[in-house]
Amino acid sequence: MTVMKSETKSITREKAKWMYEKMCEIRQFEDKVHEIFSKGVLPGFVHLYAGEEAVAVGICAHLDEKDYITSTHRGHGHCIAKGCDLNGMMAEIYGKATGLCKGKGGSMHIADVEKGMLGANGIVGGGFPLAVGAALTAKLKKTGAVAVCFFGDGANNHGTFHEGINLAAIWKLPVIFVAENNGYGEATPFEYASSCKNIADRAAAYNIPGEIVDGKDVVAVYEAAGRAIIRARNGEGPTLIECKTYRNYGHFEGDAQKYKTAEEKEKHAKELDAISKFRNYVLSKQLVTEKELEEIEGKVIEAVKNAVEFAEQSPFPQAEDLLKDVYVSYE
Amino acid sequence: MTRKISFSQAINEAMKLAMRKDENVILLGEDVAGGAAVDHLQDDEAWGGVMGVTKGLVQEFGRDRVLDTPIAEAGYIGASVTAAATGLRPIAELMFNDFIGSCLDEVMNQAAKLRYMFGGKAKVPLTIRTMHGAGFRAAAQHSQSLYALFTHIPGLKVVVPSTPADAKGLLLSSIFDDDPVIFFEDKTLYNMKGEVEEGFYTIPIGKADIKRKGSDLTIVAIGKQVHTALKAADMLVEKGLETEVIDPRSLSPLDEDTILSSVAKTGRLIVIDEANPRCSVATDISALVADKGFDYLDAPIKMITAPHCPVPFTPVLEDLYLPTPEKVLHAVAEMIGDESFVAV
Amino acid sequence: MPAEIIMPKLGMSMEEGTVVEWLKKKGDPVKKGESVVIISSEKIENEIEAPEDGVLLEILAEQDETVPVGKAIGYIGQTNENVERSQSTTTIKQANQETATSVETMKPIEIDMKRQKPRVSPAARKLALEAGIDLNSISGSGPNGRITRADIQKAIQAKRSDSGFQLKRKPEIATMEQKPMNQTGVTVKAITGMRKVIATRMFTSLQQSAQLSIHMRADVTELLEIQKKARANLIDEQDVKLTITDFIAQATILALLNHKQMNSIYQDEHIHIYDSIHLGIAVALENGLMVPVISHAEKLSIREISRKIKDLSLRAKEGKLESEEMKGSTFTITSLGAYGVEFFTPVLNPPEVGILGVGTVTDTPVFVGEIVQRRSLLPLSLTFDHRVIDGAPASKFLSTIKDYLEKPYKMLV
């Protein structure tokens, strides 16, 4: 394991504003979905990302549309950080025709391939080889793109973890494997399910850098990601970054979360909250003013409110859509 | 003595009885106990499976026999195969049947084949319980009904119950069967209640159940679709048709005799299978009747299945995806040529 | 669009034909005009040619399968073409009309559109077979006119009440009846092709007419002497010998001219009397018989008749008759003389009303005046349809034939 020291790299004022906005969007979006879901309005089930905003935002702050990400069943945050349209996302969760996947995928499968968002995923561990494939395209086509594989601690025991990372390592592919270690795979603690102390420790087995960062600190994530991305774009191969984080809600909406203690929930929601931490950071560094932050917060509330309205007013798909897009060509 | 309990409770009860009866029976899977190694967690607070089906088992049997696994299906399903072959009688839970992609080799090439490849010198008394079925708004990777995939593979037995009573008796048979059994549980049936005998009983695998007697039309329906068939049968009474509803209960082995005898009587067959249509159990049963019961047929066989597409997320499309009693009436109208049948 | 290979209507009364052999396999390329399939019907086998270039896409009727006229038995098209099966009706109509217009002397036939192979459910088909119900007699109540089990059950009910006694229709009985087919030492053959045609026609003939046979002996001693003495002179330029058969034919033709009512057919409760004589000559074959026709026989000389008979018999035996040569007969001559038979009761060739059966010539002592002489007697059997002709005129007709044969010079007048 290589633990890299955090070098303070200045975040620009504009970047800071973007990061704050995206973190707020994720939080606001997820809180809203939580609220609507509890009313029984939404079909199916949802897995919420609130609490882990710093990871998606800190990583995606380096990416543009040519770069790829693969995601998990807990994918809303990744989508927002990668620039997916809130209206389209919310409409998808509602199962509407205007959704990013035309209502066919739902919460667990939101994707926007044009934006490099290769999909949330219903299969744990599904993302490893998918990110490797996208990186192979980037390498062979020399696009300069990188692929980020977000995965949970639950997935790090899955066979595809080994196969995917090993492949990326031997081919020196531009992949950043980002573990979001929120402490629980479903209801099972990380410590029980994994034989390693840290997921990043496993990087040693593939002879690639493995870095542990505070996943509640968006600046730390941003800096670690920066190093990994430089390495990736330079053709030096993949990096494994483990972000220690926490999910504020349960595994899915409706999970009673008895495996958590009240204290830990309280601590993460208040004292360790990633958004408050970053807010204090930008104010103390005088990157953004209080007024600007409030403007952002207001704008985000409005945007999410609009997204819900958009989703609710959108039509459902038509019957004939059932058999569309099974194939590219039916010839 | 019978009492009304849910499909989910019936399955839970079967596992409890099996584990009491034989200490070699163990249960393993993702969060089947839940919250492993969480000190503060009381056992009754543990999940007991993502749907709570295995709730309470860890309290009685402890964490040595109710094992939470990492999310590593190839690992624990594969381990169950040889645990079974070497003396245990595992119940392995594959949370959603869609996850078979992560461990198909262990099921298809190991569990199914050990006995045959080893010249009968091994047995694999393994039961894999798994959730299937659409209608839960769970989208394409959590809603499939993949029993045809397993029915295709010799060496595996495939059980798909439709009622709480059947679920209990068939699960007990599966657990004490010396061959690997894939036991399908429709997630939308878990809350369905029905009369279930108390205590230990088994229902033989390979014996279909006639869920309703009739003389004019045979409907063979799989799993939850048995209830679609029963609803349709009620509606068909008004049209003067008495429908026989057959629940095969196990797809491998398949009770061919019951199906063929029924069609011999009624001359008409509809198969309802919510899985995708190509190379499906619906086509298999239709082929069986076309082959061995051709002279019984008084009308073309009709299959009511999902269309050839993945399960859509949005409720409006998922509802179209699934078989319905109205679709059955439509098929009957086509079979007997009575336009008045078609529900307006 | 793929072209249908249709079961052609090769004779007026042809309702169905049997596939004898496919000369091409599914998927084989074919050229327009090339023979693709042999079908048999009306006691004849015919090669059917490809309607266009392409590939034999599909075979709908396998070998030995019997198919109604006008129905597609196969498709020819391009390799990737889809076969659409609904074209049939208009084609049938056209085929029927073409055949109909080609029959000049006969009354135009009805185009029976119902004569397509009925749709039958497997269960109904099996039940019909067991109960001896003719599927063609039933109209189906199922979708697209499909005959269902219920339709057959109704038909069985109707049959029971018609016949006034209880029909025992139990599957067990049917199975038992079929059992001998599986015994050893019994060769079971499906009734197809020519056999089926003969079976149907002969059965129908006896079922649907009032047949009566009368017999006479003709003294042909003189005729035989003439034939013997004048053998050299009776050989024509093609080295054709006149035979006793030729004389019998000639005598029959002349007799028919005198008794026109014998030269007729009975159809649709009408008697159709013909001016022209179209004489059918039954020809025994290894596996059946055929009746080629000498059209307008009254216009031919005995030499021409002789030549015609020999040519038709030869080609019948070789299976090379055109279907046109087998239809439209108004009277038939059949002979069992070659087998030593004297008298018999020929079965009418419907819709004709008369058939002459010729036996073997036997030398017999006969009183000629007060003297017993050795005479050659020819046994003649005439079957006629009593619906059309009564015994007296029939006897007169037979006497006329006898008279011509006994006084052959009359034939030359």
Strands B193-197 and B2-6 come out as: antiparallel
Residue C166 has pLDDT above 90, yes or no: no
CB C80 within 8 A of CB C107: no
pLDDT at residue C108, as a whole number? 40
In this complex, do B72 and A157 lie within 8 Å of one another by their Cβ atoms?
yes
Q: How far apart are CA C272 and CA C106, in angstroms?
A: 9
CB neighbour class for C233 (10 Å; exposed up to 12, middle 13-18, buried from 19): exposed
Q: How confident is the model at residue B227 (pLDDT cuts 50, 70, 90)?
A: very high
Residues C180 and C135 in one domain: yes
Q: For the ranges A15-19, A287-291, B340-344, C197-201, which has the lowest average pLDDT?
A: B340-344
Give the residue-averaged pLDDT of A86-111.
97
What does pTM read for this prediction?
0.66
Reduced to 3 states (helix: H, G, I; strand: E, B; else coil), residue B10 is: helix
Question: CA B254 to CA B205: how far, in whole Å?
Answer: 9
Q: Per the CB < 8 Å rule, is A323 touching B307?
A: yes
A193 touches chain B (CB under 8 A): yes
**Is the CB of residue B271 less than 8 Å from the CB of residue B229?**
no
Q: Mean pLDDT score of chain A, rounded to an integer?
A: 95
Identify the residue with better confidence: C318 or B226: B226
In the beta sheet, which residues pair with residue B68?
Answer: B29
- The top-scoring range by mean pLDDT among A72-81, C29-38, C303-312 is A72-81
CB contact under 8 A, B295 and C126: yes
**Residue A167 carries which side chain, given as an amino acid letter?**
L
| Residue C277 DSSP SS3 | coil
**B199 near C CB under 8 A:** no
Helix (H, G, I), strand (E, B) or coil at C365: strand
State what percent of residues in chain B have pLDDT above 70: 98
For the purposes of burial, counting CB atoms within 10 Å of the CB of A195, is it exposed (0-12), middle (13-18) or buried (19 or more)? exposed
Q: Do B31 and A187 touch (CB under 8 A)?
A: yes
Mean per-residue pLDDT over chain B, rounded: 96
Task: Mark which of C47, C72, C102 sits at the end of a domain.
Answer: C102
Q: Which fold has domain B2-197?
A: Rossmann fold (3.40.50)
Position B339 scores a pLDDT of 61
Of A98-112, C160-174, C191-205, C271-285, the one with minimum mean pLDDT is: C160-174
Interface test with B, best of C120, C121, C141, C146 (most B CBs within 10 A): C121
Is residue C200 assigned to a domain?
no
Residue B43 gets which letter from DSSP?
A: G
Which chains reach chain B with 3 or more Cβ–Cβ distances below 8 angstroms?
Answer: A, C
Instruction: Please name the residue of chain C whose CA is at the shortest distance from the CA of residue B268.
Output: C123
pLDDT over 70 at A7, yes or no: no
State how far the Cα of C148 lies from the Cα of C128, in Å rounded to an integer.
Answer: 10
- Residue B168, pLDDT > 80, answer yes
Residue of chain B nearest C149, judged by CA positions: B298
Are C32 and C52 contacting, i.e. CB atoms less than 8 angstroms apart?
Answer: yes
- A110 part of contact set with chain B, CB < 8 Å: no
Task: pLDDT band for B341, please (50, 70, 90 cuts).
Answer: low
Average pLDDT for A237-254:
96
Taking CB atoms and an 8 Å cut-off, how many pairs form between chains A and B?
148
A194 touches chain B (CB under 8 A): yes
Q: CA-to-CA distance for C292 and C325, rounded, in angstroms?
A: 6
What pLDDT does C13 receive?
61
Query: Strand, helix or coil at B110?
Result: helix
pLDDT at A26: 98
Pick the CATH number of A13-323 from 3.90.1200.10, 3.40.50.300, 3.40.50.970, 1.20.1730.10: 3.40.50.970
Same domain, C135 and C282: no
| Structural domain contains residue C204 | no
Whether C97 shows a pLDDT value over 80: the answer reads no
| Whether residue B62 has pLDDT greater than 50 | yes
Q: Are C351 and C269 within one domain? A: yes
Q: What's the confidence (pLDDT) of residue C289?
A: 85
d(CA B207, CA B254): 7
Provide mean pLDDT across the span B231-246. 96
Query: Which CATH number do you get for residue C27?
Result: 2.40.50.100
Range B209-336 classified under CATH 3.40.50.2300: no
Those residues with Cβ within 8 angstroms of residue C172's Cβ, 6 or more apart along the chain or in another chain: none
**Contact residues, A window 42-101, toward B, CB-based 8 Å cutoff:** 43-45, 95-96, 99, 101
At B180, the pLDDT band (50, 70, 90 cuts) reads very high
Taking the Cβ of residue B339 and every Cβ of chain C, the question of whether any pair is shorter than 8 Å is answered with: no
Catalytic machinery residues of B: 142
- Note whether C302 and C223 are within 8 A (CB): no
Asked if B317 and A317 count as a contact pair (C-beta separation under 8 A), the reply is yes
CB C330 within 8 A of CB C297: no
Cβ-Cβ contacts under 8 Å for A105 (sequence gap 6 or more): A92, A99, A111, A119, A120, B139, B140, B313
Structure confidence at residue C90 (pLDDT): 37
Taking an 8 Å cut-off on Cβ atoms, the answer to whether B70 and A258 are in contact is no
Q: Are B269 and B297 in contact (CB under 8 A)?
A: yes
Tell whether B289 is within 8 A of chain C (Cβ): no
Q: Is the pLDDT of residue A52 over 60?
A: yes
Q: Confidence class of residue C5 from pLDDT cuts 50, 70 and 90?
A: confident
Give the total number of structural domains in chain C: 3
Q: Is B104 on the interface with C (CB under 8 A)?
A: no
Looking at residue C370, its pLDDT comes to: 86
CB contact under 8 A, A105 and B140: yes
Domain that holds residue C127: 122-190
Residue C84 pLDDT class (50, 70, 90 cuts): low
The pLDDT, as a whole number, for residue C152 is 92
Residues of C that are catalytic? 386, 390
To the nearest whole percent, how much of chain C has pLDDT over 90? 29
Binned at pLDDT 50, 70 and 90, residue B147 comes out as: very high
**B267 at the C interface (CB within 8 A)?**
yes
> Is residue C359 in some structural domain?
yes
Asked which of A140-149, B241-250, C77-86, C340-349 is least confident by mean pLDDT, the reply is C77-86
- What pLDDT was estimated at residue C33? 78
Domain ranges of chain A: 13-323
The Cα B205–Cα B77 span in angstroms is 22
- Whether residue C94 has pLDDT greater than 70: no
CA angle C286/C289/C293 to nearest 5° reads 135
Which residues in chain C are closer than 8 Å to B267, comparing Cβ atoms?
121, 123, 148-149
Under 8 Å CB-to-CB from C160, ≥6 apart: which residues? C166, C167
How would you class C90 by CB atoms within 10 Å of its CB: exposed for 0-12, middle for 13-18, buried for 19 or more?
exposed
b/e code C51-72 from CB counts within 10 Å (16+ = b): beebbbbbbbbeeeebbbbbbb
Nearest-Cα residue of chain C relative to residue B333: C143
**C268: alpha, beta or left, given left = phi > 0 and alpha = psi -120 to 50?**
left
A contacts of B101 (beta carbons < 8 Å): 123
Pair C309, C300: CB distance under 8 Å: no
In this prediction, residue C42 carries a pLDDT of: 60
pLDDT at C286: 81
Other CB atoms within 10 A of residue C222 CB: 15
> What would the mean pLDDT of C368-389 be, rounded to a whole number?
92
How is residue A33 written in tokens? 């979905």
Q: Is residue C151 a part of any domain in this protein?
A: yes
Coil, helix or strand at residue B13: helix
- Residue C43: which pLDDT band, with cuts at 50, 70 and 90? low
Pick the more confident residue, C242 or B205: B205
Give residue C307's pLDDT. Answer: 87
Chain B nearest C-alpha distance from A267 (Å): 17
**CA pair distance A250, A256, nearest whole angstrom:** 7
Give C303: exposed, middle or buried? Use CB within 10 Å, 0-12, 13-18, 19+: middle
Using a CB–CB cut-off of 8 Å, the residues of B that contact A are 30-31, 34-38, 40-42, 45-47, 50, 68-72, 74-75, 98-99, 101-102, 136-142, 307-310, 312-317, 320-321
> CA A304: distance to chain centroid?
18
First to last CA, chain B: 44
Contact C36, C48 (CB under 8 A): yes
B-chain residue closest to A319, CA distance: B317
A122 touches chain B (CB under 8 A): yes
> Any chain C CB within 8 A of the CB of B335?
yes
Residue type (1 letter), C307: R
Confidence of residue C46 (pLDDT cuts 50, 70, 90): confident
Query: Does the distance separating the beta carbons of B140 and A109 come in below 8 Å?
Result: yes
Mean pLDDT for B74-95 is 97
Q: Note whether residue C390 is domain-resident.
A: yes
Q: What is the DSSP string of B61-106?
A: HHHHHEEE--S-HHHHHHHHHHHHHTT-EEEEEEEEGGGGGGTHHI
Residue of C278 and C102 predicted with greater confidence:
C278
- Band of residue C408 on the pLDDT scale cut at 50, 70, 90: confident
Contact between A123 and B141 using a beta-carbon 8 Å cutoff: yes
Looking at chain A, which residue has its C-alpha nearest residue B322?
A322
For residue C124, the distance in angstroms to the closest alpha carbon of chain B comes to: 6
Spatial contact of C374 and C352, defined as CB atoms under 8 Å apart:
no
Characterise C132 by phi-psi region: left (phi > 0), alpha (psi -120 to 50), beta (else).
Answer: left
Number of Cβ pairs closer than 8 Å across B and C? 35
Q: Which residue has the higher pLDDT, B234 or C240?
A: B234
Structure tokens at A26: 């994720």
Residue C163: its pLDDT value, please?
A: 60
| Residue A272: both structure tokens together | 């360790």
Whole-number pLDDT of residue C232: 67
Percent of chain A at pLDDT > 90 equals 94
Q: What is the mean pLDDT of chain C?
A: 80
Closest residue of chain C to B338, computed from CA coordinates? C143
Same structural domain, C392 and C253: yes
Cα–Cα dist A213/A204, whole Å: 17
Residue whose token pair is 């509330």 = A301
By C-alpha distance, the chain A residue nearest B41 is A259
Say whether both C16 and C143 belong to one domain.
no
Interchain contact A257–B (C-beta under 8 A): no
Scored b (16 or more CB within 10 A) or e, B154-183 reads ebbbbbbbbbbbbbbbbbbbbbbbebbbbb
Tell me how close the Cα of C60 comes to any Cα of chain B, in angstroms.
19
Q: Which amino acid is at C252?
A: T
Predicted confidence (pLDDT) per residue in B28-48, tens digit: 999 999 999 899 998 888 899
* Most confident of the ranges A27-36, C181-190, C236-245: A27-36
Q: Give the integer Cα–Cα distance in Å for B76 and C138.
A: 64
In 3D, which of A195, A176, A183, A191 has the Cα closest to residue A251?
A: A183
**CA dihedral sign, ordered A62, A66, A67, A69:** positive
Check pLDDT > 50 for residue A263: yes
Tokens encoding C176: 């038992």
Separation CA C209–CA C386 (nearest Å): 8
Confidence of residue C322 (pLDDT cuts 50, 70, 90): confident
Q: Judge whether A118 and A71 are in contact, CB under 8 Å.
A: yes
pLDDT tens profile C270-285: 888 999 999 999 988 8
Looking at residue C405, its pLDDT comes to 93
pLDDT band, residue B158 (cuts 50/70/90):
very high
pLDDT of residue C196: 79
**DSSP class of residue B108?**
I
Nearest to B114 by CA among B69, B146, B80, B148: B80
- Where do the domains of chain B lie? 2-197, 209-336
pLDDT at B292 over 70: yes
Residues C96 and C126 occupy one common structural domain: no
